[in-house]
Structure 1
Amino acid sequence: MASLSCCTPFSGQRTRWVVLEINRAEITPYKSFNKRCMKIRAEVNFVNGEEAKRLIGEEGYTVLDVRDRTQYDRARIKSCYHVPLFVENKDNDLGTIVKRTVHNNFSGLFFGLSFTKLNPDFVKSVREQFSTDSKLLLVCQEGLRSVAAANTLEKEGFQNLSCITSGLQSVKPGTFDSIGSTELENAGKAGLVTIQGKISAVLGTVLI
């Protein structure tokens, strides 16, 4: 059995990835490719915010939010499901403690990011809630985690997967009904970066 991957561009920002499984036993110099020896294994669509909204409203896609708990709590699409691809790393071995301390003193302080690790139960949790033929729109803040999650689920047999290009940070305000303390596009902003403008203004005033 061999696998062949190809990318076929469509109009707008939508891109479709198709993975084909080809049975070598059915291919000889005297026999051309045919539909019976090809099996579509999975496809992942990459769409913008407006197209994502259409997938939900017209094609019955369900939103699966794979962000960490902190960003999910700040703002999320109404009626979405939440299965984080990464979870907070609370391991207490020496190496992890050192890394977590360094992280919290820098990235955690400035960007409000938790120290995380891959969720070992990600696939299991998704399988408990969805069948492999479910139509899933995977979302994260920047678009990277949703792609990683889609690749993971594709290998597990999920067939109908879509992701928002560049994540929720690229979605125009009001595109989706959301709940939370901030707008969807701002859910990734936290820590000192959220007040750096004010700090700069104060320092500038003092210097003047």
Structure 2
Amino acid sequence: MDCVVKRLGRVDYAPTFQAMQDFTAARTPETPDELWIVEHPPVFTLGQAGKPEHLLEDIGIPIVKIDRGGQVTYHGPGQVVIYLLLDLARLKIKVRELVTAIEQGIIEFLAAHGVAAERRTGAPGVYVGDAKIAALGLKIRNGCSYHGLSLNVDMDLYPFTAINPCGYAGLKVTQTRDLGIPLTAHEAGEQLSQHLLRQLEIQHG
């Protein structure tokens, strides 16, 4: 599967969101798919069905309303975010298969570092024990996806206490550093992107 991997570094959320929308609106059947690996400064993003009551307190972090599925989540330094700009029709995969491929890519990345993780029915994302380590949210427009996943690597988890993560009250969160995986967000992004591409190849094949 031909896919351009772009490493954008630490970039503000709002212009990146706009760039994803612009890319998706402008793409043609010949446009190569892209994976964008980024980190964001602290921001809460509120999905289409996002309920304001899941924001429990104002801790001075900006809130951006966006068009992905799901509730509220937090992005910040030390968390790797990978956006998947894919033509699902061309890949011949359905949204459900894409979600499965993303979750499986994260699970296999963690397994390669000796950490057992799992998915939960009805609650997209990846969990280690009773704590969430990766969140997932997508938007499909004209058969093409944007948004993607976030994996907690080596970050300040405190802002998660100001929200019900993904709409679940009291949901614990964890990160790779606390599970004994000594990677930076950049290193984790490089490795995870390879697992994701392999899973998409399997689904595509």
Q: TM-score range by the shorter chain?
A: under 0.3
Instruction: Tell which structure's C-alpha radius of gyration is larger.
Output: 1
TM-score of the pair, normalised by structure 1: 0.28
User: Which is helix-richer, 1 or 2?
Assistant: 1
